[in-house]
């Protein structure tokens, strides 16, 4: 596993899923209970997917290089109006 925050989140997720599985496996469930458990797990997975997708978008935004912001020295922050006007020329 990667030793970073995202890797730790994934690790904790699988540990929690394993705990839930062990809790379910120790007692017999009715079909309705099983369906409710699966639905709850699906909702949790959907929430985790949304968080991870947001993280990916943030990372992509941070690593995307825009050619209109490139200078001789590299990537520049052109928030000043003069810089924006020059890049439009």
pLDDT digits (tens, 9 = 90+) for 43-53: 999 999 999 99
Predicted local confidence at residue 69, as pLDDT: 60
> Residue 32: which domain range?
5-88
Q: Is the Cβ–Cβ distance between 48 and 13 less than 8 Å?
A: yes
Say which residues have a Cβ less than 8 Å from residue 84's Cβ, sequence separation at least 6: 78
pLDDT of residue 70: 57
Phi, psi angles (nearest 5°) of residue 68: -75, -10
Q: Is pLDDT of 87 > 60?
A: no
Per-residue model confidence (pLDDT) at position 46: 96
**Does 66 score more than 70 pLDDT?**
no
Query: pTM for the complete prediction?
Result: 0.42
Tell me how many domains the chain contains.
1
Separation of alpha carbons 51 and 57, rounded Å: 10
Note whether 87 and 68 are within 8 A (CB).
yes
How far is the first Cα of the chain from the last one, in angstroms, to the nearest whole number?
48
Q: What is the pLDDT of residue 82?
A: 55
């Amino acid at each position: 596993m990667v030793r970073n925050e995202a890797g730790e989140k994934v690790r904790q997720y699988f540990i929690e899923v394993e705990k839930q599985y062990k809790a379910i496996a120790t007692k017999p469930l009715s079909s309705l209970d099983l369906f409710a458990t699966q639905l709850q797990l699906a909702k949790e997975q959907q929430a985790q997917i949304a968080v991870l997708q947001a993280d990916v978008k943030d990372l992509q935004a941070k690593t995307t290089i825009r050619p209109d912001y490139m200078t001789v020295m590299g990537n520049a922050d052109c928030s000043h109006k003069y810089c924006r006007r020059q890049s439009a020329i």
